[in-house]
Copies of this chain bind each other. A is one copy, B any other.
Amino acid sequence: MPLRTRLTERLGIEHPIISAPMGFLAGGTLAAAVSRAGGLGLIGGGYGDGEWLEREFSAAGNERVGCGFITWSLAKTPELLDKVLARSPAALMLSFGSPAPFVAAIKQAGVLLICQAQSMAHAKEAVEVGADVVVAQGGEAGGHSGTRSTITLVPEVADFLAQAAPETLLVAAGGIADGRGLAAALMLGADGVLIGSRLVASSEAKTPKGFQPAIMAADGDSTIKTTVIDIVRNYDWPGEFNIRALKNHFVSAWHGHESSLREAPTHAVEKERYLSAFNSGDAENAGVIVGEAAGLIREVWSAERILEGMVAQAEGLLRSGAQHVRPRAT
């Protein structure tokens, strides 16, 4: 029996679960699998590779999927937005930067606008530009995020939306990988969740070989927020967003030595090593981008099994929650 929330009703989906548009990892196959399983799948727009995006939209076939962009990167290649809108995506998600310059085109195309917020300031900006859905993302998330935490940001954004934009939907992101997180998010006031890390460990993600076993082996203490993965890849991220990844050999070697990593000859050598390690799926020498929820992930499953497992567990918890409320034994 499915869960029903404002998100499932408004989006016409079965489960209140959206997949994170993870750069490189969330291609059309994953997005389509998530949508087919009853959620809403998003292709990761990443750092603006138009050919990759075209290929991945094609890979999604006729499945109803959306797309997410890194907003500050999209500002450098704004033509990608029109390319994606021409595909009639189910939703367009913007995160990490001001959404304002892109809103008119998205609204004109009649596409659902999802804005991800890492702070109250971002949530207010999302409402100002007319977001249909605000994703409140905590820093326990894998990949880039801010410093707020899911358990405080979600209810605080919920209170703000209740006053300022009661029709705007709220989705919780960061640290949610099973039905407990989904049920907790609903208690906090969210209409649904956005999940990333759990799907890095799905059979449909484009996760480099070697990364999934490393994630299975990791506990939640094994991740760190760092800049070294962006420094080595030459991505000029705004300082307010750091990346969370496994504290592996590469990260441990360079975290705290950022300026050395930036020095030209060292950087050239390390970048080549890094990319080669990424391509070969070497989980010690490339960035294994995953959140604290790594400690909750024990098996690689299909997206369908992940979504169905989450929903079944959340249903059980929600059904039995009322059992806590009862007269004390006399």
Contact = CB atoms under 8 A, between A and B. Distances in A.
Q: Which of A1, A2, A324 has the largest count of B CB atoms less than 10 A from its CB?
A: A324
A159 interface: yes
A212 interface: no
B318 A152 contact: no
Contacts of A152: 140, 175, 177, 220, 291-293, 295-296
A317 to B, nearest CB: 5
Given A156-B220, A321-B318, A149 B292 contact: yes
B155 A296 contact: yes
B321 A321 contact: yes
Interface residues of A, number: 56
Given A140-B148, A151-B184, A152-B175, 14 more contacts: A3-B324, A3-B325, A4-B325, A4-B328, A5-B324, A14-B328, A120-B219, A149-B175, A151-B174, A152-B292, A152-B296, A153-B220, A183-B187, A187-B187
A318 B186 CA distance: 10
A63 B213 CA distance: 52
Contacts of A139: 149
Given A139-B149, A220-B153, A221-B119, A186 B324 contact: yes
A138 interface: yes
A121 interface: yes
The binding surface of chain A is classed by DSSP as helix
A188 interface: yes
A257 interface: no
Contacts of A326: 1, 4
A155 B153 CA distance: 19
Contacts of A174: 149, 151
Contacts of A121: 221
Interface in A148-195: 148-153, 155-156, 158-159, 174-178, 180-181, 183-189
Given A120-B219, A318-B324, A292 B148 contact: yes
Interface string A116-130: 000111000000000
Contacts of A176: 151
Given A151-B138, A152-B291, A175-B151, A159 B296 contact: yes
Contacts of A291: 152
A239 interface: no
B138 A187 contact: no
A327 interface: yes
A322 B325 contact: no
Nearest to A151: B175
Contacts of A153: 220, 292
A319 interface: yes
